[in-house]
């Protein structure tokens, strides 16, 4: 099939995620091309006519070691010839078991039980339900609320959407969502000039402490994205906030849910972002990079203590009766095992420190630009925030879709970016090399020039 035919047939039947489909209408002057992908290898994707695109965003943050990685490919093929899937109620299999053991081993101390789900949003739902249900089983059924941070994102299903706070995704559905307590966040974009990330994040904790002091009695858990609010424009903060939050959650008897769906598996420089604050949450949600970007799978890690509150005689009806048909899918678990093996075969985190330094170097001058508010970085995530008026801190109106112009320019020049509003970011697979970093950053720079020229 050729590109054009594929796109035409696609638009006739396929409704794409997170897209205004009218943007892709070929009749429109400003039409956005739909890019048909035939194959992928390493950081490169290729269409049906041989044009290549550097996947600078790891296909929505899922891919860790490049597309079509031989090690992960062979692991899935071997699994496929043995067992593709079996229900996990009453049955078990080797890959589900080995992966659970491995996750218990590599996640922060105290996370000793693993519950599987199918995707990130489902993992968030599981953590919310488990936290509520734990308190109920412990005789504290007055605990029904959740605390979340401004600008946070936890997925698209109704429970996950309710504990998120990105207006663009949430507002339309507001009448359908449970009420949550939203607390101003530690997002360092708003620090005073000259103020350090640490000082700002520390200062911002005061409001969280106050809300916990006031509402702890009715609160099940605080849910948080450790260190980087990814869907919320890649906004970043200092680990001190996590440290203080862990202590406060203990003090006020509230669970801490760490949503590491996007930041887990090395994105922030450590295997899990929580490690930078040396904390263990009560629940840790994992997905995206878990399978190296191959298959939908998620896991909720929690403690023996929480598990014990559900462990009882059947007649007491205290079990966690949550399931998904594909819970613990064998192919997904095997892909995850192979992915984690790659971390253990080479010192990936050390190599990433080199790549992160190269990305910092390649974008070092960007912040001088009159329409770039800042360039921020945490580990393998680099974000460039465009701004209309730098001195007055006035954002470009979202309606102007400046980031979209960078997206289009970059596609023409062989780089797949997918800006979040006015924020251009890089979150590449860990197999990117220096030359590819240079290309990715140079194309973004040229695209930015174009997008801000009037």
Ligand X SMILES: *Cc1c(COP(=O)(O)O)cnc(C)c1O
For residue 141, how many C-alpha atoms fall within 13 Å in the half-sphere facing its CB? 4
Does residue 262 belong to the site contacting ligand X (CB under 6 A)? yes
Task: Tell me whether residue 188 or residue 234 sits nearer to ligand X (CB atom).
Answer: 234
Sign, Cα dihedral of 82, 85, 90, 93: positive
Helix (H) or strand (E) holding 212: helix 197-215
Please identify which residue in 151, 287, 302, 339 interacts with ligand X, judged by CB under 6 A.
Answer: 287
- Annotated ligand binding at 323? The verdict is yes
CA atoms within 13 A on the CB side of 180: 27
CB closer to ligand X, 149 vs 262: 262
* Shortest Å distance, C-beta 153 to ligand X: 5
Rounded to whole angstroms, how far apart are CA atoms 413 and 447?
9
Tokens of 93: 């299999």
Please say whether the dihedral angle defined by the alpha carbons of residues 104, 110, 115 and 119, taken in this order, is positive or negative: negative
- Establish whether 59 is an annotated binding residue: no
Smallest separation (angstroms) from ligand X to the CB of 130? 16
One residue of 125, 259, 282, 436 binding ligand X per CB under 6 A:
259
Of the ranges 108-116, 237-245, 258-266, 337-345, which one interacts with ligand X (CB under 6 A)?
A: 258-266
Residues linked to residue 375 through DSSP beta bridges, in sequence order:
384
Residue from 67, 154, 267, 334 in contact with ligand X (CB under 6 A): 154
How near is the Cβ of 163 to ligand X at its closest, in Å?
10
Distance CA 430, CA 73 (A): 17
Check: CB of residue 111 under 8 Å from CB of residue 104: yes
Q: Which residue, 44 or 116, is less far from ligand X as judged by CB?
A: 116
**291 touches ligand X (CB under 6 A):** no
Q: For residue 19, what are its two tokens?
A: 């897209």
Indicate the DSSP class of residue 84.
S
| C-alpha to C-alpha distance for 319 and 137, rounded to whole angstroms | 9
Residue from 40, 42, 66, 155 touching ligand X (CB under 6 A): that is: 155
Say if residue 61 carries a ligand binding annotation.
no
Among 124, 165, 222, 387, binds ligand X (CB under 6 A): 124
Site string for ligand X, 355-374 (x = CB under 6 A): --------------------
CA 224 to CA 277: how far, in whole Å?
Answer: 13
Residue 283 within binding range of ligand X, rule CB under 6 A: no
- Nearest distance from residue 119's CB to ligand X, in Å? 4
Q: How far apart are alpha carbons 363 and 368 in whole angstroms?
A: 10
The verdict on whether residue 454 carries a ligand-binding annotation is: no
259 assigned binding-site residue = yes
Is residue 15 marked as binding? no
Is 288 annotated to bind ligand?
Answer: yes
63 lies in the binding site for ligand X (CB under 6 A): no
- 389 to 428: interface string for ligand X, x by CB under 6 A: ----------------------------------------
* Residue 223 and residue 163 in contact, taking contact as beta carbons nearer than 8 Å: yes
The residue among 54 and 230 lying less far from ligand X, judged by its C-beta, is: 230
The interface region with ligand X, picked from 118-126, 127-135, 137-145, 317-325 by CB under 6 A, is 118-126
Does 119 contact ligand X by CB under 6 A? yes
Please provide the DSSP assignment of 348-387 as one string: HHHHHHHHHHHHHHHTTTGGGSTTEEEEEEETTEEEEEE-
Tokens of 189: 């974009």
| Six-digit token string for 270 | 């450590």
Q: Which residues contact 165 (CB under 8 A, 6 or more apart)?
A: 148, 149, 150, 151, 152, 153, 182, 232
Q: Which residues contact 307 (CB under 8 A, 6 or more apart)?
A: 112, 113
At which residue do the structure tokens 């990715």 appear? 440
> Is residue 135 part of an annotated ligand binding site?
no
Is residue 261 involved in binding ligand X (CB under 6 A)?
Answer: yes
Could you give the CA distance from residue 400 to residue 266 in angstroms, rounded to a whole number? 34
Q: In this chain, which of 58, 121, 352, 363 binds ligand X, going by CB under 6 A?
A: 121
- Name residues contacting ligand X, limited to 205-244 (CB under 6 A): 225, 230-231
Is 120 annotated as a binding-site member?
yes
Q: Taking contact as CB under 6 A, which single stretch among the options 24-32, 259-267, 315-323, 346-354 is the one that binds ligand X?
A: 259-267
Q: What tokens were used for 151?
A: 């600008």
Give 262 or 444: the residue with its C-beta nearer to ligand X.
Answer: 262
Which residues are annotated binding-site positions? 60, 120-121, 153, 259, 288, 323-325, 418
Residues that bind ligand X (CB under 6 A): 119-121, 124, 153-155, 225, 230-231, 259, 261-262, 287
Residue numbers in the known binding site for pyridoxal 5'-phosphate are 120-121, 259, 324-325
């Amino acid at each position: 099939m050729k590109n054009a035919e594929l796109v035409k047939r696609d638009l006739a039947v396929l409704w794409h995620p997170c897209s205004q489909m009218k943007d892709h209408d070929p009749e429109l002057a400003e039409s956005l091309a739909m890019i048909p992908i035939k194959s992928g290898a390493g950081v490169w994707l290729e269409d049906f006519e041989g044009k290549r695109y550097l996947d600078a965003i790891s296909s929505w943050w899922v891919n860790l070691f490049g597309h079509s990685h031989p090690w992960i490919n062979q692991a899935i093929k071997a699994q496929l010839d043995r067992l593709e899937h079996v229900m996990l109620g009453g049955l078990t299999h080797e890959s589900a078991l080995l992966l659970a053991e491995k996750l218990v081993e590599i996640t922060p101390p105290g996370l000793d039980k693993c519950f599987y789900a199918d995707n990130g949003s489902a993992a968030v739902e599981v953590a919310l339900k488990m936290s509520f249900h734990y308190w109920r089983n412990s005789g504290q059924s007055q605990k029904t609320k959740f605390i979340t941070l401004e600008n946070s994102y936890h997925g698209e299903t109704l429970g996950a959407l309710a504990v998120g706070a990105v207006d663009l995704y949430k507002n339309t559905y507001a009448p359908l969502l449970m009420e949550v307590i939203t607390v101003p966040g530690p997002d360092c974009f708003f620090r005073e000039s000259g103020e350090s990330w640490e000082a700002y994040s520390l200062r911002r904790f005061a409001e969280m402490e106050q809300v916990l002091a006031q509402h702890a009695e009715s609160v099940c858990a605080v849910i948080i994205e450790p260190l980087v609010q990814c869907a919320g424009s890649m906004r970043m903060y200092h680990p001190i906030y996590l440290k203080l939050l862990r202590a406060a959650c203990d003090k006020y008897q509230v669970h801490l849910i760490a949503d590491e769906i996007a930041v887990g598996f090395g994105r922030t420089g450590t295997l899990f972002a929580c490690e930078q604050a040396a904390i263990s949450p009560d629940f840790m949600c994992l997905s995206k990079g878990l399978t190296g970007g191959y298959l939908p799978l998620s896991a909720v890690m929690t403690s023996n203590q929480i598990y014990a509150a559900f462990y009882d005689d059947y007649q007491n009806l205290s079990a966690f009766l949550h399931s998904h048909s594909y819970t613990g899918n064998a192919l997904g678990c095997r892909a995850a095992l192979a992915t984690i093996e790659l971390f253990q075969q080479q010192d990936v985190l050390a190599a990433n420190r080199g790549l992160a330094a190269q990305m910092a170097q390649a974008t070092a001058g960007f912040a001088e630009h009159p329409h770039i508010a800042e360039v921020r970085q945490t580990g393998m995530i680099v974000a460039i925030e465009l701004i209309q008026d730098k001195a007055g801190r006035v954002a470009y109106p979202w309606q102007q879709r400046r980031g979209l112009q960078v997206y289009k320019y970059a596609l023409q020049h062989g780089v797949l970016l997918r800006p979040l509003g006015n924020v251009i970011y890089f979150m590449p697979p860990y197999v990117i090399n220096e030359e590819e970093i240079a290309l990715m950053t140079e194309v973004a720079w040229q695209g930015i020039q174009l997008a801000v020229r009037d």
